[in-house]
Copies of this chain bind each other. A is one copy, B any other.
Amino acid sequence: MIKKEEVLEKLPEMGRVLTIEEREQVLDEMQVRAYRKNEPIYSEGDVPSHLLCLLSGKVKIYKDGYRAAFAEENYVTAAAAFEPSVIASIPIDLVRQLITRNPQLAWFFMHRLAVALGRSDARTVNLTQKHIRGRLAESILFLKESYGTEEDGQTLSVYPSREDMANLSNMTTSNAIRTLSAFVQEGLIVLDGRKIKILNEAALQKTSRIG
């Protein structure tokens, strides 16, 4: 069982800009739920009525998470737990209320949306302007930035399948396998099953830029 009091501490940056009373209200109306591995969280076409916050675990989102509720569109993607995960859901009406009363929260979300928009545009450039090697190198670096590494500081702490890597980098699974092998040959990375260990990050960054 998850204690709600512990949850708000984890609501990453959002909790910080809330007043005591607002926190109370969030705790009151929020639902917290655990998901098993591969359990669906939302499906394409669903109406987003809650702001979803991933508290722990990992989720495979096919496009995005918190965007749909604000755009007042339905989900165009689906999401499922990638490993056992805990998710808090806050009714979007409450979020709207809070934003109305707390301008700092409004800035918080605007800022995140604007940053996400910049990233999305950068990703478009990455996927359209770079060749296979550059795209795959970028994906590996992206995974490191997003999820970090194990204690050695080199091994990614996510273990994506070759197919996942292919989807992330917009290429066929065959080409992801082949190109990963090439990176191993060149001493950029080491593979151990699905574990990816970065040996030469500088060279990987260079590959991401020039292919």
Contacts and interface: CB of A to CB of B under 8 A. Distances in A.
A114 interface: yes
What's the dominant secondary structure at chain A's contact region?
Answer: helix
A67 B115 CA distance: 8
A96 interface: yes
A76 B113 CA distance: 17
Number of copies of this chain in the oligomer? 2
A29 interface: no
Interface of A: 63-64, 67-68, 70-73, 76, 96, 99-101, 103, 106-107, 109-111, 113-118, 120-124, 127-128, 170
Contacts of A76: 118, 122
A115 B170 contact: no
A120 B124 contact: yes
Given A103-B100, A127-B124, A127-B128, A114 B67 contact: yes
Contacts of A120: 117, 120-121, 124
